[in-house]
Structure 1
Amino acid sequence: MLWRHGQTSWNLERRFQGSTDIELTETGVAQARRSARLLAGLKPSAIVSSDLRRAVATAAELAALTGHTVVSDAALRETYAGEWQGLTHDEITARFGEQYAAWKRGEPVRRGGGELETEVADRAAPVVLEHVDRLPEGGTLVVVSHGGTIRTTIGRLLGLEAAHWESLGGLSNCCWSVLGKGAHGWRLLEHNAGSLPEPVLGDDT
């Protein structure tokens, strides 16, 4: 299960967070608590999280209910996006219009001079697989991360070409996607699942 962190003030302002370390809002904490109650009912075997505060705080709500220790890993951070970080959606499209359009077309783009999406997948997907390999038989791993990183990781695990990762769509705050192993590799079982429908506000919109 790949679970996106709760709401931050920059999500509300539609500011591109990237690897900037922004805390949850009160609403974000409430979202994490509500979702954690649902996820705890699935009896996860382990929790691994990005080391950014918004993900750590989200993971902590599930840890409090399950008793698991959260393993933090910087490889699960959101995409570093250089000059885009801290800018609103409108500011990005005004200042980096061609770059933004190329990204939305699925072209490899170093947004703001930052990471390529394939580079994010290169660092994040192996961490997910490493922790999956440690699970007991039939166990469930919860990965607490960020919208862009989750999408690129899903695309990589499903074997999709990077140009098609955009078609997966975004995750709302504190919603999650579920992958399971099938006869021929990973399968996407649920996407953007959650307790309540929420708009997608964040870096991967």
Structure 2
Amino acid sequence: MGERLNVEIVKGEKVLANAYYHWSGFTRTAMETTNTILKAYSRIKTNVARSKSSNKDLLFAIRLLETTGAGIDFKNKENDFVCEIGKEFKCMQDRNEGIIGVTKEDIAETRRYEDERVTIDIESEEVNFEAFMNYDEEEIQELLEDYDKDKRKIGKINVDNYQLTFEQCFELEKTLNELAKNDTYCVYNSATNEYLWFVE
């Protein structure tokens, strides 16, 4: 469980494109993948704005996902825009590197197989990061009982992981990595009043 990641690029309620990663649904791997995209965001946004593309939103979404190593599977593509300038896009290598979906069918298929999802909204410039397992306090205590006493740790964060700014994503990655160094894979999020367990 938790191995397959879906990263979606949306504009408001509209899904522009998504990418399927077969082994990236773990919390820290998903965070790293997300921040790879965010680090290139401003540069790609500027380049797309200067382009003469007929569909800048879709171009932006694809370019963002390409920064992770993902590519398009050009077999049976029916998206006119992708067919029109397909040679300019990266071709899919394998499902571990990432498969970009642009048609309704491809986007739906990625969703069908996802274990975890990260959504990046190019309109609000916020991230919905869902690559955690959620539990209530009683469930968390039961889970911790299965661990040695020295590993029954609960860290703390105070940030809404469903509505993160880009800067908060960078800070959250640092926090999660520091917690993991100390064998802490569970956090109480006071911003959302949830207990979150790392997908590891």
For Structure 1 versus Structure 2, the TM-score category normalised by the shorter chain is under 0.3
Higher helix share: 1
Q: TM-score, normalized by length of structure 2?
A: 0.25
Q: TM-score, normalized by length of structure 1?
A: 0.25
